[in-house]
Amino acid sequence: MPPITALLHTTNDALHLGRALETLLPCSEVLIVDHHSSDSTLRIAREYGARIVLANNRASANNYLEVARYDWILCLDPKESLTEALQASLFEWSSLPTSAIADVPAFSVFGREQIAEDWRDFPAQETRLVPRGWTLWHGRIPAHQSSAVPLEGELLRFAFP
């Protein structure tokens, strides 16, 4: 059973963070990399039991994978949340024997983004569940990998608190 570390980078995300953390039930660990927040982001992270690491501005995104306790990392933005279907998919995934996912390089998700008062689908699936040794990044989120296996359920990205 491969446990999952959720990894979120925060900077003054107090208005969004609680919603994201509420949906991370399938994750065995929540790791917050905080980039010098001056609001109540860190207090909220602690209330949800997240482990907090202060960001080093010179560190690359994959440096924080070494801090994670588990070998599979779910990367999320604080303005994103997992749907119940994606939570169920991650619970099912984490119950698989390690040998069942040994040849899969990464996993991706489909999602929807809040635009004004409407929603639009992500233009393409996004790679979000990666092994600790992942080296391909697009900012703080894994770069898309075409061979990533899609998980069922969706990731929701909120524009408003």
Which CATH number does the domain housing residue 24 bear?
3.90.550.10
From the CA atom positions of the chain, what is the Rg in Å?
15
pLDDT at 161 over 80: no
What is the reported pLDDT for 117? Answer: 85
Total domains present in the chain: 1
Is the pLDDT confidence value at 99 over 90? no
Task: Report yes or no: 86 and 151 within 8 Å, Cβ to Cβ.
Answer: yes
Q: What proportions of the chain, in percent to the nearest 5, are helix, strand and coil? A: 25, 35, 40
Whole-number pLDDT of residue 131: 95
Q: What percent of the chain has pLDDT over 90?
A: 83
Residue 59's contacts (CB-CB under 8 Å, 6 or more residues apart) are: none
- Kindly report the length of the chain: 161
State mean pLDDT over 84-105: 91
| Token pair belonging to 159 | 């524009």
**Of 55-64, 87-96, 107-116, where does mean pLDDT reach its minimum?**
55-64
Burial class (CB in 10 A: 0-12, 13-18, 19+), 121: exposed
- Looking up tokens 């939570």, which residue turns up? 87
* Per-residue pLDDT tens digits for 20-44: 999 999 999 999 999 999 999 999 9
Beta bridge partners, 4, equal 72
Instruction: State yes or no: pLDDT of 1 exceeds 70.
Output: no
Q: How far apart are CA 116 and CA 131, in angstroms?
A: 35
Q: Which pTM was predicted? A: 0.95
**Residue among 76, 137, 140, 149 at smallest CA distance from 108:** 149
Domain that holds residue 98: 4-157
